[in-house]
Amino acid sequence: MVLDILMFIMAVMAGRVIPMFTNNGVPGARARRNPLLEKAALGGLLVLTLADTVEAPALVIAVCALALFVLHGARLALWEPWRVFRTPLVWILHAAYAWIVVHLALRAFGAYQWVPDAIATHALTIGGIGGLTLGMMTRTARGHTGRPLVAGAADVGAYVLVMLAAIIRVFGALVWPGAYLATVILSGACWFVAFALYAAAYAPSLTRPRRDGKPG
């Protein structure tokens, strides 16, 4: 239930910032929101939270998660993720949100134990939470320290590593079950290095006055 609540908060925040950042940062992008789809996608997450709280039958969880997979996939499509590949500060947010969509599909399969529940959890936590956290931290750190809103090499490296961490952790055990421990260690290493890159790249600017002399 706690992860459901976190997912709802992430979805609300993403719907506010991802279309805006996409249109502001990607020439020609026309990311948009459909009011009816927004209500259905966000309201559906609350229904899933309630279903988990009352420990609803597997069929209810599976149908709810599958419907949300479709709704949030459609929501992401309206934000035109295919236009953002040349803008890392934006594509990391789209990629992270895509992990929420993957999580919902895995929740549907997990309701009948077709995949382990932990796999769906890692899709949300490593890919969704990790990606959105890193993407928002780099963007806001740049903006509030007076630096250009353009991802540097360390940013891109961190983005790639956190996505690799999610891919390895979620799909490694499914594709290569005999190497479970190795995939866990490799995923954890990618995660650690991703956030270490962020810390190393941004510690100097975050501990000094803004470059432009304005208040932070």
- Give 10-residue mean pLDDT values along the chain (216 residues): 93 96 93 96 97 93 96 97 95 98 96 89 97 96 87 95 97 85 96 97 86 66
User: Residue 210 falls within a domain, yes or no?
Assistant: no
Domain residues for the domain of 144 are 2-202
Taking every pair of C-alpha atoms in the chain, what is the biggest distance, in angstroms?
58
Closest CA to 99 of 126, 133, 118: 126
Compute the CA torsion angle 140, 204, 146, 197 (nearest 10 deg): -40
pTM of the model: 0.94
User: Residue 168 falls within a domain, yes or no?
Assistant: yes
Compute the half-sphere exposure of residue 29: CA atoms within 13 Å on the CB side of its CA: 26
What end-to-end distance do the CA atoms of the chain give, in Å? 36
Sole residue written with tokens 């549907």: 108
DSSP helix/strand/coil, 207: coil
User: Residue 208 falls within a domain, yes or no?
Assistant: no
Question: What is the total count of domains within the chain?
Answer: 1
Quick one: pLDDT at residue 70?
Answer: 98
User: Residue 207 falls within a domain, yes or no?
Assistant: no
What H or E segment, with its residue span, contains residue 38?
A: helix 35-53
User: Residue 29 falls within a domain, yes or no?
Assistant: yes
CB atoms within 10 A of CB 32: 11
User: Residue 213 falls within a domain, yes or no?
Assistant: no
Quick one: pLDDT at residue 207?
Answer: 83
Is the separation of the CB atoms in 93 and 24 below 8 Å? Answer: no
Calculate the CA 11 to chain-centre distance. Answer: 9
